[in-house]
Amino acid sequence: MKLPEITILDEKNKLLHTVSEEIKFPMSTEDKKMLHDMLKYLEMSQIDEYTEKYNLRPGMGLAFVQVGIPKRAFVICSENDDKTFDKYIVINPTIVSMSEEMIYVGEGEGCLSVNREVDGIVPRHARITVKAFDEDGKEFTIRVREDLSVAFQHEIDHLNGILFTDHINPKCPYKDADQMREI
């Protein structure tokens, strides 16, 4: 497999702190191609052979804004136990419901735009329901939980100009951990 040519913006780039614009349908051919390139990049970043060959950091999600396109779209590529991948293309998402139960990623969240270790926890809802569109403009609703719920919330934050580091309390990075479930 050949690695798609993608440049991921660093957290210092001001574009990452802007609110992305709604996508109009039909989508452009270039935007559709970029979505699929981003998925391929994420898949390759989770396969040891390619992480070594291309010096990649593993990633599960990537928002358009992270590649310099301030539009409301993201992709998620989630590896299953059998080494297959579930792939999601999510355009113009809206969270329609969320669980009261809060969770956090025990080893900490990461981001392909944040190239440093970050201590602290990011409170996330254990389950959310999202209404969105696919690349052809077809509306769908999806309920995600646990890791996928975290990934969806992380990417939706990107579309709203928020980085996961913005959620971490600088004075008390593990604040309220005892009131949430670690995953």
On the CB side of 132, CA atoms within 13 Å amount to 23
Report the alpha-carbon distance of residue 123 to residue 35 in Å, rounded: 28
Report the alpha-carbon distance of residue 172 to residue 119 in Å, rounded: 10
- Catalytic pick among 43, 109, 135, 155: 155
Report the alpha-carbon distance of residue 148 to residue 129 in Å, rounded: 11
Cross-strand partners of 131: 94, 141
Query: What sign for the dihedral angle of Cα 131, 140, 87, 2?
Result: negative
Report the alpha-carbon distance of residue 75 to residue 36 in Å, rounded: 8
Examine the residue annotation and report whether 182 is marked as an active-site residue of this protein: no
Joined together, the tokens standing for residue 111 give 């981001």
Q: Under 8 Å CB-to-CB from 73, ≥6 apart: which residues? A: 20, 23, 31, 35, 63, 64, 89, 90, 91, 92, 159
Q: Which residues are catalytic?
A: 155
